Amino acid sequence: MKRTRNLLISLFLLSAACRRHPDPSLAQMTGIIKSLDHSNDFIYGQINNLERILQNRSDEPYTTERTKIWLPHFHAVKESSDEMHTYLNSLRSALRKQAHLVLDSTNASSQWGDKSAVYDLFEKAGGKKELSGKIAAYHKAILNAWNSDSMDIPDVIKEDIKKDIPRMITHVPESLVDGFDPANTTAATAYILLAQIENDMLLTQFEMARYADIHTNIARDAYDKYSFLAGVNSNYLKAGQTLTIDAGIGAFSLACKPKVTINGVPIEVNTEGVAEYSTVVGNTPGKHTIPIRIEYTRPDGSTSSFKKDIKYEIAP
């Protein structure tokens, strides 16, 4: 599945420009940092919105069973992503503290050009090695979260998951960390690196939330079958009286599991959603009644029923 990054193309172009030009102005660098932080906040909002949709869908009668299969896997990804987010925030906080950075300042301070703080945090304190290990563990956790063999879904969808999920995980952060030289990196560049890693993590999480959304979004027609219906105005006519026929299409639901009883006899519903009953009337003239009862299951699982009497008359 292709990753949806259209909203962030301009940000990636900016960060790419920084890699082509190793010494951009600090104003440019801090501008990129703010843009990345804003875009990350936006993606967080989109993920939270999808989570609300999935949670609401788990309470809907038509989608609850399917959503309950997929929702735990989304939550497992979210848990790993939240842990990674907390870790990246701790690194950013440590970097700001060590380099005395002020992110909200309108003027880019010289501290953003500090390299010693980056070296101390990522080289001396082992931050680079730890960061690399955290990224690898995060990717592994995601794959474990989507272990399709443990999911109660058709085999064909299991195979799709095995192909789709790894494609959603890019290894850009790993290559960025591998090429990261703490001895020759400014605080601004290091901060952008951490924002890019979080950006990639969020896009991965968003794609997986969208994946769960696609597989639980059931467009449901309330009716399963359509049949021809016809009726007459009377079953007892005399010469010169008018016969009226009403004809149309009836829509029937098999999902509500209808149980039809006619004249005290249970009648099986056919593949068209209709129960057919016939009887040979007796020789007793006069008015007669055939009771009909239809019991059905509501979307919430409760049962209800309709009752109606069909009346006819036998001529003397």
pLDDT in tens, 265-279: 888 877 666 777 777
- Residue 313's pLDDT is what? 72
pLDDT at residue number 20: 39
Please tell me the predicted confidence (pLDDT) of residue 221.
46
Which is more confident, 289 or 131?
Answer: 131
Element housing 48 (H / E): helix 26-57
Q: What's the mean pLDDT in 174-185?
A: 87
Burial label, 184 (beta-carbon count in 10 A; 0-12, 13-18, 19+): exposed
Q: How confident is the model at residue 13 (pLDDT cuts 50, 70, 90)?
A: very low
CB 103 within 8 A of CB 96: yes
Is pLDDT at 11 greater than 50 in this prediction? no
Kind of pairing between the strands at 286-297 and 303-314: antiparallel
Any idea which of 47-51, 55-59, 244-248 has the lowest mean pLDDT? 244-248
The pLDDT of residue 87 is above 70 = yes
Give the closest residue to 211 by CA, choosing from 68, 70, 58.
70
Residue 227 has pLDDT above 60, yes or no: no
- Is the pLDDT at 294 greater than 80? The verdict is yes
**38-47 residue pLDDT tens:** 888 899 999 9
Instruction: Say whether pLDDT at 83 is over 90.
Output: yes
Considering only residues 180 and 13, tell me which one the structure prediction assigns the higher pLDDT. Answer: 180
- Whether residue 257 contacts residue 297, with contact meaning beta carbons closer than 8 Å, is answered with yes
Residue 219 or residue 109, greater confidence: 109
Q: What are phi and psi of 300, to 5 degrees?
A: -85, 0
Indicate the pLDDT class of residue 141, thresholds 50, 70 and 90.
very high
Q: Note if the pTM is more than 0.75.
A: no
Work out the mean pLDDT of the chain and round it to a whole number: 77
Percent of the chain with pLDDT over 90: 25
When pLDDT is cut at 50, 70 and 90, the band that residue 80 belongs to is: very high
Q: In terms of Cα–Cα distance, which of 262, 258, 263, 261 is closest to 273? A: 258
Given a cut of 50, whether residue 140 has pLDDT beyond it is yes
Is the model's pLDDT at 199 over the cut of 50? Answer: yes
Beta bridge partners of 303: 297
pLDDT average, residue stretch 171-189: 85
pLDDT band at residue 58, thresholds of 50, 70 and 90?
Answer: confident
Residue 18 near residue 189, CB atoms below 8 Å: yes
- Residue 96, H or E segment: helix 64-99
Distance CA 315, CA 224 (A): 40
**CA distance from start to end of the chain:** 75
Among 126-130, 297-301, 312-316, the range scoring the smallest mean pLDDT is 297-301
Residue 312 has pLDDT above 50, yes or no: yes
The string of DSSP codes covering 104-171 is T-SS--GGGG--HHHHIIIIIT-HHHHHHHHHHHHHHHHHHHT-GGGS-S-HHHHHHHHHHHHHH---
Domain assignments of the chain as residue spans, ordered by start: 6-216, 225-314
